[in-house]
Structure 1
Amino acid sequence: MLYPIIALLLGFIILVWSADRFVIGAAGTAKNMGMSPMLIGLTVVSFGTSAPEILVSIMAATTGAGDLAVGNALGSNIANIGLVLGMTALIAPLPVRSKVLKQEIPLLLAITLLAGAVLYDLYLGHIDSIILFLSLIGCLYLFTRFQRNASDDDINEEEEELPELSTLWAIFWLITGLLLLAGSSRLLVWGATEIATTLGVSDLIIGLTIVAIGTSLPELAASVASALKGHTDIALGNIVGSNIFNIAAVMAVPGLLAPIALDPMVLWRDYGSMLGLTLLLVALAVYQRPPRISRFEGGILLTAYAGYLALLYNMSV
């Protein structure tokens, strides 16, 4: 039991650090290749902050822990909205830019509904994964369209803070970060599954809680740091983009590599909670003028996430 716990903690630490290195290297490489800051933010950084979830899902699917992979995708989205945005809003109220409200939030809602249609038959197979990957391609296309129509004020401030890197150093951190992500995610999955087996807890519950929170740490760190620096306008857009990648890429992995039958609770409890939190986010973002998520609303999101964790606990005992 001691070694799996050490592997879990060490995997989390390396995962968070390597995700940051990967994002910096990927964004630096893309910037040196002539990509605009907005397009980098919508694609490279959104993918980079979802890289831990993607690699954990690959490792889980290839080691027969498909439930952990699905739980990781759904649980990460639930944690991103309830925990990450809730905690960030408590630090500083989050203004919702009109671009995010009109473009990315409706896109997130559409992708979330598509996930429900894919999971409705309680089976995640090759066709389902292909549909999700095609939706990812559609999202990337729309991201480029959004970028073409964006004004200078819409430039993602997070990208402006990236250090200037030579192409050589950018590629070095890109490759190093990716290798460490792969290794740490494998370590994380092994530790989590060993703990689950020892305690008699299902892979799904471990994926929905420990692994989901762990792989959401990059988003939490980035959002809280942005709020502390006063860059509150970027937090919501980053989470929305990450959640889109989690559904369209992360959740597609187990169905493509090792199709699995799902427990009915995945649909009504876990997907239902993700959909409910997404709808709650939309409601909280639009009902105020100007659109914003206040500290009080951040408390609502955190309370909703705590309620979800309580539901998981009550159903697992």
Structure 2
Amino acid sequence: MSVILVLAGLALLVVGGDFLVRASVGLSFKLKLSKLVIGMTVVSFATSAPELLVSLHAALDGVSDIALGNVIGSNVANIGLVLGITAIISPLGVDKDFYKLNWPMMMILSFALYYFLKNDNVLTALEGGIMLAALIIFLVILIRSSRKSNKANLEDVDDSLAVVSNFKIAVWLLIGAAGLYFGSDWLVQGAKQLALAIGISDYAISVTVIAIGTSVPELAASVIAALKKEKALSLGNLIGSNIFNIAAVLGLTSIIKPIVVNPATPEILSTNIFWMIGFAAILIPMIIIPKRFEIGRLKGMILFGAYLLFIFIALK
């Protein structure tokens, strides 16, 4: 039953997230927001909604291990699993601007999260608010920078949603909200039952099974694009997802319900958060050595191999 709940929860999260993105973009067009702002804020927030609902549901349910494991695991999976497998299939070119803003912000937030948690084993509402405020400032700078350079990646914004009726947007919002609510609830309950059944912690399930599950849509889209020899993914978007996971998902969750590190899972601060920071940090030397601004098959294999090692240690 626990496996069915986990799979059904993941499926509902994927469907609910997709409908929420469509509804959010359609509504943003109605509000006359520019395509640039929609792509960089609305789409990013909407695509982080599944992780947000899972973390929020877990925190309110008293299992903050799942809230933390979901984000730490997702950030590791984005680089080790999604980027690693995609690069193995088809080498990826890297935008030279990514290390000027996106990467430093990801590193700052990663270290900030570690500091806040290490300080008193709690991510408080104030600390969550600081990270959320940092995200808003980052987005303002990013939008201004993109307007000046005209390099914004707007492929995620579907122009056809500009002419969608208000009724359809409302229906999509309802479907999306219902999918995210019930999907996150089933996933958290299923994860707790599964952890109990196989004798491992809630955290171990969240940092592996849940994190992989929430990364599947991105992985599938990237693999299909790579096989078709199309542009598989944007490293900037992948890093952006990690930024939103820390600042928006954990930031908003901790504002509503402070996230406490469970003394029974010391590996959160002693091991796994360093994996998250390590995967983020390794991108710079990996991109500039030996072939500049490309992640080829060998680098992809290294990332994926490191991810498999992370999973093995997490489940040990």
Same fold judged by TM-score > 0.5? yes
Show the counterpart of 1:60: 58
Residues 18-77 of structure 1: per-residue CA shift (max 9 Å, x gap): 222222222232234333333322212222221111000111011111111111111110
Distance (Å, rounded) in 2 between the aligned partners of 1:227 and 1:100? 20
Seen in structure 2, the aligned counterparts of structure 1 residues 107 and 5 have a Cα distance that, compared at 3 Å, is same
For residue 241 of structure 1, give the secondary structure of its aligned residue in structure 2.
Answer: helix
For the residue of structure 2 that corresponds to 1:155, the secondary structure is coil
Give the corresponding residue for 1:181. 180
- Show the 5 A alignment for 1:106-255: 106-121=104-119, 122-151=121-150, 153-159=151-157, 165-168=163-166, 169-232=168-231, 234-255=233-254
Structure 1 ranges of 4+ moved more than 6 A: none
Counterpart position of 1:83: 81
Q: Distance in 2 between matches of 1:219 and 1:71?
A: 19
Give the Cα–Cα distance (whole angstroms) in 2 for the partners of residues 84 and 162 of structure 1: 28
Query: How far off is 1:294 after superposition?
Result: 1.3
What is the rounded CA distance, in whole Å, between the counterparts of 1:150 and 1:170 in structure 2? 32
Q: Distance in 2 between matches of 1:170 and 1:86?
A: 36
CA distance, structure 1, for counterparts of residue 202 and residue 116 of structure 2: 21
Note the residue ranges of structure 1 that are not aligned, 5 or more in a row: none
Which letter does structure 1 place at the counterpart of 2:261?
A
Contact 1:4 1:195 in 2 (8 A): yes
In the superposition, relative to structure 1, how do residues 161 and 31 fare at CA in structure 2: closer, same or farther (>3 Å)? closer
Task: Give the direction of change, closer, same or farther, for the CA distance of 1:88–1:29 in structure 2 (3 Å limit).
Answer: farther
Question: 1:289 deviation in Å?
Answer: 5.2
> Equivalents in 1 of 2:100, 2:8: separation in Å?
40
Structure 1 residues 139 and 45 mapped into 2: Cα distance closer, same or farther (>3 Å)?
same
What SS is found at the alignment partner of 2:33? coil
Distance 1:313 1:7, change over 3 A: closer
Compared CA separation, residues 287 and 106, structure 1 to 2 (3 A): farther
CA–CA separation in structure 2 for the residues paired with 1:46 and 1:254:
17
Tell me if structure 2 keeps the 8 A contact 1:62–1:258: no
State which drifts further: 233-242 or 162-171: 162-171
Aligned-pair CA distance for 1:174:
3.3
Distance 1:147 1:175, change over 3 A: farther
Alignment partner of 1:51 is 2:49: yes
The answer to whether the 8 Å contact 2:89/2:297 transfers is yes
Change (3 A) 1:233 1:210: closer
Question: 1:268 maps to what in 2?
Answer: 270
Between the aligned partners of 2:48 and 2:67, the Cα distance in structure 1 is: 13
Structure 1 length as normaliser, TM-score?
Answer: 0.89
Alignment TM-score, normalising by the size of structure 2: 0.89
Residues 1:258 and 1:101: Cα distance change in structure 2 (over 3 Å): closer
Give the aligned partner of residue 303 of structure 2.
301
**Residues 305 and 190 of structure 1: CA distance in aligned 2, closer, same or farther (over 3 Å):** same
Q: What is the one-letter code of the residue matched to 2:270?
A: W
Between 1:273-282 and 1:87-96, the stretch displaced more is 87-96
For the 8 Å contact 1:15–1:181, the answer to whether it is kept is yes
Gaps of 5+ in 2: none
Q: Identify which range, 43-52 or 162-171, moves more after superposition.
A: 162-171
Change (3 A) 1:233 1:4: closer
Structure 1 residue aligned with 2:289: 287
Q: Deviations over 1:146-194 (max 9, x none)?
A: 332231x533223257666414234432342122111111111111111
Letter in 2 for 1:57: S
Equivalenced residue count is 311
CA separation in 2, counterparts of 1:299 and 1:246? 25
Q: CA RMSD in A?
A: 2.3
Aligned mates of 1:161, 1:268 — CA distance in 2: 46
Distance 1:247 1:239 in 2: 13
Does 86-95 or 31-40 show the bigger shift?
31-40
Deviation at 1:11, TM superposition (A): 1.1
Question: Following the alignment from structure 2 to structure 1, what is the Cα–Cα distance between the partners of residues 160 and 183?
Answer: 24
1:29-40 alignment, distance < 5 Å: 29-40=27-38
Take 1:196 and 1:162, find their aligned partners in 2: how far apart are those partners? 43
Could you tell me how far apart the structure 2 residues matched to 1:91 and 1:282 are? 21
